[in-house]
Amino acid sequence: MKILNFYKKNFYYGWIILGVCTLANFASGPGQTFTFSIFQNSFIDDLEISSTNVATSYLIGSLIASFSMIILGKFLDKFNPKYILILVTIFLFLGCFWLSKVSSSLELLFCFAIMRTMGQGALSLIPSTLVSIWFTKKRALALAIMGLGISASSGFFPVYGAFLIENIGWRDAWLVLGITASLLLILPVIIFIRPYKFLSTESDNFDEKIIDKNGTTLSKAIKTKKFWFIVIAIMSGSPIHTGIMYHQVSIFSQKDIGITEAASIFAIVAPSMIFGQFISGILNNYFDPRKILILGQVLVFLTLYLLSILNTLFFGYIYGILLGLQIGLLMNTGQAIWPLYFGRRYLGSIRGFTNFIGMSLAATGPLPLSIIFDSTGNYNTGLYIFMIFPPISALGALFIGRPKI
């Protein structure tokens, strides 16, 4: 097609792929925890169910979504990612449409499953895998740029969602969110995404031999100690981030901070996350990624502590800065580390399996906080329990070993 004549010898097409992947990360917003958190009270009040009921539906739906990542990862190794992304975009809209009509906790569970599969799952796994395959020397930088999408999304969709709820109601808000995300993504995917076979050894930043010879299969990777130490080092953030972001509006409402102000903290998280991703992208070019993972876990601990003691909106913004910074550091390093240790040839399968682990752990995050809140009337005990996990992850990072690829 003539429109694809952008690809010239003096221009690397991977930058176009990066642009679409960044947009895909942004469009994942309706399926992310930071958007669901804005609707938490609406689900509870309108459907007449408890916080624990909503969190349980979220847990089961997210677990269903996490299992689908194993299958999706294998599909990425075999099929044209364009067609997978088109289907994901369509189902993301259908999930939003169903949420606008939901009338029971069972329906809510299935809606969560669809939205988590398409949003946090597919629109995270596919873009990060594509960027990791199309870039080698500039991978950390490319992943940091791609991370602009989710950072901007975390700042935009909660505020956008809160605005829609207050003006048209929470049900119509879901419909508008679905239309917004799907219209943004569908045409760029159709026009610009290309299959891996388009890549050649003549393309800058890409070496076909590296993909063919140096890749480690998933079955071999999971038999190594370093694989599981990497999992330990990066995965504690999954339940912690999901748990506190899911309950953020409720936590802040206990501290007499309203829904609009609580949503505005997500807008603080976004630029801080961008900064964290770019800092991580730079640091990964000069320092051992294990040190960056340890730094990230220290920041996770400090974030939890601040959230447990804050009592003003000002400290809420400081919390937002810390939250975004450590998410950015861990997100970028957590994506860049897998091809660094296991290569790119089977990256789809490996990332699919690790996303399954991450999403499964993330699914467990909101429920403990809900149970503790329903039992005690506050969230602090749950936050104290969460503080146990960052030191464990930091310890796991010490045992990963140096990359051989």
Do residues 62 and 359 lie in contact, with contact meaning Cβ atoms separated by under 8 Å?
A: yes
pLDDT on residue 81: 87
pLDDT tens figures, 27-74: 999 998 888 888 888 888 888 888 788 888 888 888 888 888 888 888
pLDDT on residue 2: 52
- Does 202 have pLDDT greater than 90? no
Q: Which residue has the tokens 């005690």?
A: 376
**pLDDT band at residue 276, thresholds of 50, 70 and 90?**
confident
Average model confidence (pLDDT) for the chain?
83
Mean pLDDT of 239-244: 86
More confident residue, 323 or 260: 323
Most confident by average pLDDT, 184-198, 276-290, 291-305: 291-305
More confident residue, 401 or 353: 353
pLDDT tens figures, 329-344: 888 888 788 888 887 7
| Cβ neighbours of residue 387 closer than 8 Å, sequence gap 6 or more | 301, 304, 305
The whole-angstrom distance between residue 161's C-alpha and the CA centroid of its chain comes to 18
pLDDT tens figures, 347-395: 878 888 888 888 888 878 888 888 888 888 888 888 899 999 999 999 9
pLDDT on residue 205: 45
Q: Quote the CA–CA distance of 165 and 153 in Å, as a whole number.
A: 17
Q: Quote the CA–CA distance of 124 and 111 in Å, as a whole number.
A: 18
- Does 203 have pLDDT greater than 70? no
More confident residue, 98 or 274: 98
pLDDT on residue 248: 79
Q: Quote the CA–CA distance of 224 and 392 in Å, as a whole number.
A: 19
Q: Which domains does the chain have, with CATH numbers?
A: 12-398 (1.20.1250.20)
pLDDT tens figures, 2-20: 554 544 556 788 899 999 9
pLDDT on residue 196: 60
pLDDT on residue 174: 94
